[in-house]
Amino acid sequence: MITVIANLKGGSGKSTVTFNLGLWLQMKGQPVVAYDLDPQQTLSDVAEVRREEGYAPPLQVNQPRESLQDDMKYHPVQTQVLVDVGASNMQAMKIALTIADRIVIPVPPSQPDVWATQRFLNIVNNLEINNRPEMRVFVNRADTHRAVRESDETEDVLRQLQGVELINQRLHQRTVYRRSLSEGLSIFELSRRSKAADEFNRLAAILYPEL
């Protein structure tokens, strides 16, 4: 399966989600290959940190040898392919969207991020795609304070968007996610018994219920 983690707006947490999802899949015994199509190369950087520190298993992060579409023929059907891409590489993003089996959109709780998500859906809808991908969206970097209503309000809007399904599992703004990228370790390796690990497990299980 080809899962594209994408958003028009920077800072949505795409690379953090992709990195941890890749390691979660490997923990489940799945063959995984990731592609980093974002010019910032955050996913590539954290994978390199992981290799340099000698943590196992490594996360294989590629750049397309040919085109992304042509590269897919090199991977067995059972390989879980993850693609991290954003609007700063619009051409690569559009190509990735046309070959995706599923598009996952992390959305921070703010009005500008909701607007960006709506524009992103318009881009997808205007692409010439033979088989429409599954579209899933969830609130990422949600505030942990219950009195703050932005996450609830963002979910209410996302739930009403056409052509995309809201995942009723948030990831919250937690320090462990920042540590994950800086140290090259998944949140499970940093703190297996934590709120972050629990919420990410639930999110990943929704995306991959067969595992």
Token pair for 109: 């709780």
- The answer on pLDDT for 148 being more than 80 is no
Could you tell me the domains of the chain?
2-207 (3.40.50.300)
DSSP string, 60-105: -EE--SS-HHHHGGGS-TT-EEEEEEEGGGHHHHHHHHHH-SEEEE
Compute the average pLDDT of residues 1-12: 92
pLDDT tier at 165 (50, 70, 90 boundaries)?
A: very high
Give the pLDDT of residue 146: 78
For the entire predicted model, the pTM comes to 0.95
How would you write 160-207 as a 3-class SS string? HCCCCEECCCCCECCHHHHHHHHHCCCHHHHCCCCHHHHHHHHHHHHH
Mean pLDDT of the chain: 94
Give the pLDDT of residue 197: 96
- The answer on pLDDT for 18 being more than 90 is yes
pLDDT tens readout for residues 93-125:
999 999 999 999 999 999 999 999 999 999 999
Give the pLDDT of residue 182: 95
User: How far is it, in rounded angstroms, from Cα 146 to Cα 166?
Assistant: 20
Give the pLDDT of residue 112: 94
pLDDT tens readout for residues 34-44:
999 998 999 99
